[in-house]
Amino acid sequence: MAQVPDVGALAPEFSLTNTHSTPVRLEQFRGGGVLIVFFPFAFSRICHGELCELRDNLHRFTGNDVTVLGISTDSMFALKAWAEQEEYDFDLLSDFWPHGEVAQRYGVFDETNGMALRGSFLIDSDGKIAWRVVNERSQPRALDGYFEALTQI
């Protein structure tokens, strides 16, 4: 597995497809903050809880000029169905092919199981990593950690 980028490092660039078949590039968010949230699988229990918490508190991020992006190795079609079911108001991006390429760049790809770990990266307006946390797939991230991280940018 690749190394997780350090706080202060330039965030690895990427272009991934959202649930509407639109390419989303990290660079398009320069000038504002971005919270990148890698998650293992759509429709799974812990992922559901984490992303619903983000959905329900999205105003706390957008109010701080931070865009939330969820990324998994699921197909765009699975992510679209899940986003519609759960009414997520932020983009879910598919890192399906080449499988896990972006998760690998961020050092959160579990090669044995072919999925992303629970890695979150807060990117500042200059494109640098201001905060990060990486948990195993069975360990949910604490919502309060995100709110504390917002004070870093």
| Alpha carbon distance 72, 99 (integer Å) | 10
Catalytic, 47? Answer yes
From residue 46, give the alpha-carbon distance in Å to each of 8, 41, 63. Answer: 29, 9, 26
From residue 142, give the alpha-carbon distance in Å to each of 9, 37, 53, 119. Answer: 23, 12, 10, 12
- Whether the ω angle into residue 12 lies within 30 degrees of 0, i.e. cis, is no
Alpha helices (H) along the chain: 45-56, 58-62, 76-86, 101-105, 143-150
Q: Is 55 helix (H, G, I), strand (E, B) or coil?
A: helix
Choose, from 42, 47, 51, 108, the residue flagged as catalytic. Answer: 47
- Residues with a known catalytic role: 47
